[in-house]
Amino acid sequence: MTDLIEGEYEPSPTQWVRDQVATYEATGGREANVLRDNPDWPIVVITSRGAKSGKLRKNPVMRVEKDGKYVAIASKGGAPDNPTWYANFLADPVVQLQDGPEPALYRARLVEGDERQEWWDLAVATWPTYASYQEKTDRQIPVFVLEPLA
Share of the chain above pLDDT 70, in %: 99
DSSP string, 45-92: EEEEE-TTT--EEEEEEE--EETTEEEEE--GGG-SS--HHHHHHHH-
Is 60 part of a structural domain of the chain? yes
Cβ atoms 62, 45 nearer than 8 A: no
Is 7 part of a structural domain of the chain? no
CA distance 15 to 142: 25
Is 84 part of a structural domain of the chain? yes
Mean pLDDT score across all residues of the chain:
95
Q: What is the CATH number of the domain that holds 36?
A: 2.30.110.10
Is 6 part of a structural domain of the chain? no
Is 71 part of a structural domain of the chain? yes
The number of folded domains in the chain is 1
Largest CA distance in the chain: 41
Q: pTM (2 decimals)?
A: 0.94
Domain containing 136 equals 15-148
More confident residue, 36 or 72: 72
Report pLDDT digits (tens) over 81-128.
Answer: 999 999 999 999 999 999 999 999 999 999 999 999 999 999 999 999
Contacts of 26 (CB under 8 A, 6+ apart): none
3-class secondary structure, 29: coil
Measured CA to CA in angstroms, residue 141 lies from 25, 28, 38, 137, 138 at distances of: 28, 30, 24, 8, 9
CA distance 54 to 101: 25
Residue 42: pLDDT above 70?
yes
Is 9 part of a structural domain of the chain? no
> Dihedral through CA 147, CA 56, CA 73, CA 70, nearest 10?
20
Q: What's the confidence (pLDDT) of residue 2? A: 52
Is 3 part of a structural domain of the chain? no
Is 135 part of a structural domain of the chain? yes
